[in-house]
Amino acid sequence: MDSEQPIGHVRAWLRVVSADDGGPPAGVTDGHLPSWGVGQRLSGDGLLAGAPITIEDAERIAPGETGLVRIHPTSWDAWADVRPGERIPMLEGPRIVGIAEVVEVVRGAGSAGQLDDADFVREQYASTAPLETRIAVWHPGADGRTPQDVALAALAAVTPSRLLEVGSGTGAFAARCAHELRCHLTALDSSPDMVAATRSHGVEAVLGDVQDLPFDDGSFDAAVAAWMLYHVSDRDRALGELARVLRGSGRLIAITNGRRQLADLYDLVGGEKLDSSFSSENGGQQLERHFSRVERFDVEPIARFADRDAAAAYLASLGRERLAARLPELEEPLVARGQTTVFVADK
């Protein structure tokens, strides 16, 4: 079977129960389809999920032996909580015929754990509340700067008179840019609620998709895409569109997060983060395909969580209630470091 399914897989050491103790007499081979005891339902009974396995570096795991396998969930729903080190019983009927010790959880492009999953993006931004919950925890880092301060300085350097912000969210940054840069700002967002929120700041805002911008070539001197390109499935197209609507030598500011973003928080709950397809680590290469000069400025803002509830609300705002439930009580407020990059890309 194809081991590179777009949804990803769970790698694990699988110990197959010996035949004397009720294990499968022939052992297991590729494509074996057992049930897995992946957790507890709220009612307290076991949650079972069917998922086939493939075996790495062997043709078969004999009864009583251990081998490295990939388990292939068809959806992450039941597997959302599974993490490295966990031992998952493999069942056939009511009988436990193996134990898989998880080595790593690899989420693929089609997984529900992707920031660019269209359903996730639609639900996330159907109202402003989840985004506002997250924005509220952020503060400047040790150097006193926020990523927005750095972005604003890079915009001011090119004195734009026509500025575009795509994925404007609540509109707070758009309003700040319009005021501090004294330019005409047009905002665009794919969520009707975000468009309404942006308009409430007195900023012109339209409903639209960055992958298909409703503007003529060369309409803007500069553009901003802040924490939004990782939500876009065809980023090459979106970046092509942004380059198209900028005038010659126009400037794009793209802000995103890196792998270490909020590691202090995620380490507490042992959960992997949602996969980002446009990050501090890979954003530069993507921009270089459409812009002649790309510079980066790394900023480390901090997030403050007053107590466990505040940290839980943050995780829940991303639909990650299962991780939130794992948070320990906090004896003091949690200060978690951010890892943000402001890319400055010139056409």
CB 35 within 8 A of CB 91: yes
Query: Total binding residues for ligand SAM by CB under 6 A?
Result: 22
* Residue 132 makes contact with ligand SAM by CB under 6 A: no
* Residue 194 makes contact with ligand SAM by CB under 6 A: yes
Q: Draw the binding track, 203-232, toward ligand SAM (x: CB under 6 A; -: no contact).
A: ------xxx--------------xxx--xx
Q: Which of 10, 229 has the CB closer to ligand SAM?
A: 229
Q: Which of 81, 277 has the CB closer to ligand SAM?
A: 277
Selected from 190, 257, 286, 341, the binder of ligand SAM by CB under 6 A is 190
Side-chain-side CA neighbours of residue 13 (13 Å): 10
Interatomic CA distance for residues 334 and 157, integer angstroms: 36
Selected from 28, 130, 152, 189, the binder of ligand SAM by CB under 6 A is 189
Pick the stretch among 183-191, 269-277, 293-301, 312-320 that binds ligand SAM (CB under 6 A).
183-191
Structure tokens at 214: 């409703």
Query: Which residues from 91-130 bind ligand SAM, rule CB under 6 A?
Result: 121, 125
Interatomic CA distance for residues 154 and 148, integer angstroms: 10
* Residue 279 makes contact with ligand SAM by CB under 6 A: no
Selected from 114, 186, 191, 279, the binder of ligand SAM by CB under 6 A is 191
C-beta of 123: minimal distance to ligand SAM in Å? 11
Q: Which of 226, 336 has the CB closer to ligand SAM?
A: 226
**Residue whose C-alpha is closest to residue 258's, from 171, 177, 147, 174:** 147
DSSP string, 120-164: HHHHHTSSSHHHHHHHTTEE--TTS--HHHHHHHHHHTT--SEEE
User: Which residues on neighbouring strands pair with residue 323, listed in sequence order?
Assistant: none
Q: Which of 100, 195 has the CB closer to ligand SAM?
A: 195
Order of strands, edge to edge, in the sheet holding 246-257?
A: 204-207, 184-189, 162-166, 220-226, 246-257, 340-346, 293-299
* Residue 169 makes contact with ligand SAM by CB under 6 A: yes
Classify residue 21 by its DSSP letter.
G
**Residue whose C-alpha is closest to residue 224's, from 251, 245, 184, 190:** 251
Q: Report the interface residues with ligand SAM, using CB under 6 A.
A: 121, 125, 131, 135, 166-169, 173, 188-191, 194, 209-211, 226-228, 231-232
